Amino acid sequence: MAVPTIIRERTPQLIVLAVILALNAIISPGFFSIEIQNDRLYGSLIDVLNRGAPVTLLAIGMTLVIATKGIDLSVGAVMAIVGAVAASLITSGYSLPATLAGALFVGLACGIWNGALVALLDIQPIIATLILMVAGRGIAQLITEGVILTFNDKPELIFVGSGSFLSLPMPVIIWVVVAILAILVVRRSALGLLIEAIGVNRRASTLSGVNSRVILLAVYAVSGLCAATAGVIAAADIKGADANNAGLWLEMDAILAVVIGGTSLLGGRFSLVGSLMGAMIIQSLNTGILMAGFPPEFNLIIKAAIILIILIVQSPASQAAMANFRANRQTVAIKTESREHAAR
Amino acid sequence: MRTLNLLAATAFATALSVSSAFALTVGFSQIGSESGWRAAETSVTKLEAQKRGIDLKFADAQQKQENQIKAVRSFIAQGVDAILIAPVVATGWDAVLKEAKEANIPVILLDRTVDAPQDLYLTAVTSDTVFEGKVAGEWLVKEVGDKPCNIVELQGTTGSSPAINRKKGFDEAIAGKANLKIVRSQTGDFTRTKGKEVMESFIKAEGGGKNICALYAHNDDMAVGAIQAIKEAGLKPGKDILVVSIDAVPDIFQAFIAGEANATVELTPNMAGPAFDALDAYLKDKKEPAKWIQTESKLYTPADDPQKVYDEKKGLGY
C-alpha cells in the first residue's frame, strides 16, 4: 500500500484528532459548518485553527528544544513580555514594522538568554528556563506598569490578531507559514539530524564534530522567537497586553502538544507535524468543551480524562500489545492461507 | 523687621505643632499591586488620607503575609493612632491583632475579612459581592421588561468567591422571571482572552448569536473581550446583545462611549473613605462602628457621562 510515510507515522494522532472532532460534531451539531462572514471564513473549525495559534507556535519551538533533550518552561512568560513590549512600542508612536521588529528582537534575546544558560553554563534546561518563567511576568508588569496596556486605536497591530488574509484569520496564516518554514529548514538540511544527534548523546555528537553549543543556543533562540510571535498574536487579539494572564500555563499545553505528537521528552527523534497535530488535538478539545455547555467545574476533569486516554493509547506498553495483536492476526491469516493452499 | 520675622516664624511653628497634635497617623498595610484595581485602591487611600490631613504610613507587602505582619508590628512600635490592613489571606492574624489591641490601636480591615475573633478589630470595610451580582441582575430585569431574553454568562475563575457570589446574586435577581433564562454559563477566568474565546463559542452554539439577548460577565475585562467577539461575529454589542458586567474599570467606560456596553456595577476602590469616617467617629465620640461596613455598589450606565468617569478613573492608576 502506498500510504505516505508522514501519514503512516502519525496514524495514532490522526485517529485521535478524528475521534475528538467526531465527538464534537455529535455533541454540538453544526461544529463542521463553515460560512463566510465579513469576508472571512467563520465557524467552530476555524476557531480551532485560530485559537490554537499560540500553542501551535509555542509547540514548534518546544519540539526543537525537547529534541535536544531540553525543555523551555519560559515560553508563557516570554509571551507576556513580548506582548507588553509590542503594546508599549505601538502606543508610544512607533510604526508597525518597528514594533514587530522590537517585539521579535526581545523574544529572540529571551531565547538566547535561555540558550546561553543551557549551552554555555551547562545549567539543566528545566532550571535554566524556570528562571525566566518566574521572572518574566514581573518584567512584563514592569513594562506595562501593572495595567492592561491597551491599543484600541492601532488597527495595524490589531490586524495581526484579528484581521484576515485570503479569508483566513491572520493567526492561522502566521502559524502555518512559521510551521512550513521550520519544517523546510530542519528537514531539507542536516539541521534536524544534528538536533536529534545532540538529543541522543550530546557528548558523542560534540566529539564527532557537531558544534553542539551553537545548535543548542539556536534552538532556544528559535523557541524564544516562536513565543514572541505567539505573544504578539495574543496581545493583538485582545487589543492590549495583559501581563498577568497572557500565555499563562501555555508552556504546559505546548509541552503536552509535543508529547501527544509523539516526540519523546528524552530527546532524539522529533516530529514537527506531530506537534502541530498535538496542538490541534488540544485546541479541538478546548473548543469542544466550550461548545458542549457542561458546567465549568467539569472542564479540566474532562480535558484530563481524555488526555489520559490518549497517552494510555500511545504508551509503549499498549503500542507493543497492539503490534503483538496485529502480528498474531497476520500469522493466523498466513496459516489459514497456507492451509487453503494445501487443501488444493 | 527681624523681630517680626521671628514672631511670624514662632507663630507658624506653634500652629504646625498644634495641627500635628490633632492630626492622626495611620499605618496602611497593602497586599501589593497585583491588579489595576489594587493600584487604584492604594492611590484612593492616599488621596482620602490627604483630604483629611491624616499622615498615612504606607507598606506594600508584595503578596506576602509575613511582610504584612512585619509592617503591622512596626506600626505598633511607631505608636500610630490606627492601622488599616488589606489582608492577603484570611487566616493567621490572631497574634498580631492581639498585639495591636494590647497597644490600644484600632485595626480596620479593608476589602477582605479575616478568620479571627471580631473583638480583635474595629470593623471591616468590604464590598458585598452577592449584592453586586444582584444589582447587575436587577438592571437587566428592568431593561428587558416582559420580553423573553436568553442570557449567556461569563463566570469568573471557577471556585473563587467573587465568581460564586456574583453568580448567586444575579441568579437571585432574575429568579421568578420566566422570560429571563441563562442559556449558557462558562468560566472566562476573569481574563480578556478567555472572555473572548468563550464568547465566540457561545455565539456559535446559540445560532450565530441570534438567540442571545444579553451577556452577563462577572468582570469588565471578560466583557471587553466578549465585546470584540460579538463584533467579529458581525453583531452589535450593546444593541443586538446587551452587555452588563461588574467592577467599573476605566476600559468599560470607553465601551460605553462607543455604545458597546450597557451597564456595570462598581467595585469601588474607595474602601479607605468609609474606614476613616468610622475611625474618626470612634476616636472623637467613642462611637463603636458596626463590625461590617458595606461599600456602595453603584450602577453605571452610558447615561452617567462615561467620558468624565473614564478620565477620573484613568488618573487613579487602574
Contacts of B63 in chain A (CB under 8 A): none
Between B23 and A85, name the one with better pLDDT: A85
- Beta bridge partners, B85, equal B29, B109
* Partner residue facing A240 (CB), from B158, B192, B200: B192
**Per-domain boundaries in chain A:** 54-293
With beta carbons less than 8 A apart as the criterion, state whether B93 and B114 touch: yes
Spatial contact of B249 and B37, defined as CB atoms under 8 Å apart: yes
CA distances from B78 to A57, B30, B65 (A): 55, 18, 20
Specify if B299 maps to a domain: no
Strands A40-42 and A168-169: unpaired
Residue A333 distance to chain B (closest CA, Å): 48
Count the Cβ atoms, other than its own, within 10 Å of residue B247: 26
Span B6-13, mean pLDDT? 48
Q: Please name the residue of chain B whose CA is at the shortest distance from the CA of residue A245.
A: B191
B57 with B187, same domain?
Answer: no
Nearest CA in chain A to B224: A238
Per-residue pLDDT of B133-180, as tens digits, reads 999 999 999 999 999 999 999 999 888 888 999 999 999 999 989 999
- The verdict on B171 and B234 lying in the same domain is yes
Same domain, B166 and B120: no
Query: Among A39-48, B17-26, B33-42, which range has the highest average pLDDT?
Result: A39-48
In a domain, B61, yes or no: yes
**Chain A CB contacts of B233 below 8 Å:** 37, 42
User: What is the pTM assigned to this prediction?
Assistant: 0.87
Domain-embedded: residue B119: yes
Same domain, B8 and B94: yes
**Can you tell me the mean pLDDT for B14-35?**
70
In a domain, B292, yes or no: no
Q: What is the DSSP string of B52-74?
A: TT-EEEEEE-TT-HHHHHHHHHH
Among A26-40, A90-104, B17-31, the minimum mean pLDDT is found in B17-31
- What's the mean per-residue pLDDT of chain B? 90
Report pLDDT digits (tens) over B88-124.
Answer: 888 999 999 999 999 999 999 999 889 999 999 999 9
On chain A, the residues whose CB falls within 8 A of the CB of B200 are 47, 51
Interface with A, mutate which of B204, B253, B318 (most A CBs under 10 A): B204
Task: Assess whether B146 and B88 both reside in one domain.
Answer: no
Closest chain B residue to A32 measured between Cα atoms? B204
Are residues B184 and B79 located together in one domain of the fold?
no
Do B39 and B162 belong together in one domain?
Answer: no
Q: How far is A238 from chain B (nearest CA, A)?
A: 6
pLDDT in tens, B241-269: 999 999 999 999 999 999 999 999 999 99
| CA distance to partner chain B, nearest, from residue A147 (Å) | 5
CATH code at position B251: 3.40.50.2300
Reported ipTM: the value is 0.88
Query: What distance in Å separates the CA atoms of residue B23 and residue B33, rounded to the nearest whole number?
Result: 28
Kindly state whether residue B173 falls inside one of the protein's structural domains: yes
Residue of B nearest to A33 (CA): B204
State which of A115-129, A236-250, A308-322, B2-16 shows the largest mean pLDDT: A115-129
Boundaries of domain holding B29: 2-127+269-287
pLDDT digits (tens, 9 = 90+) for A281-300: 999 999 999 988 888 888 88
- Same domain, residue pair B63 and B86: yes
Give the confidence band of B33 by pLDDT, cuts at 50, 70, 90: confident
Give the residue from B62, B157, B164, B201 with the most A CB atoms within 10 Å of its CB, the best one to mutate: B201
Q: What is the pLDDT of residues A6-34, one digit of tens each?
A: 777 788 889 999 999 999 999 888 888 88
Q: Does A152 touch chain B (CB under 8 A)?
A: yes
User: Per the domain annotation, does B296 fall within a domain?
Assistant: no
Instruction: Look at residue B8 and tell me whether its pLDDT is greater than 80.
Output: no
Distance CA A13, CA A260 (A): 7
Size of interface A-B (CB pairs under 8 A): 77
Q: What is the pLDDT of residue B269?
A: 92
Residues of A in contact with B225 (CB under 8 A): 238
| CA atoms of B301 and B288, how far apart (whole Å) | 36
- Chain B residues whose CB is inside 8 A of the A37 CB are 233-234
Residue B176 lies in a domain: yes
Tell me which chain A residue has its CA closest to the CA of residue B62.
A138
A77: Cβ contacts below 8 Å, ≥ 6 apart = A132, A133, A134, A135, A136, A137, A139, A140, A247
pLDDT at A344: 58
A148 to B36: CB separation less than 8 angstroms, yes or no: yes
Residue B33 lies in a domain: yes
- Count of structural domains, chain B: 2
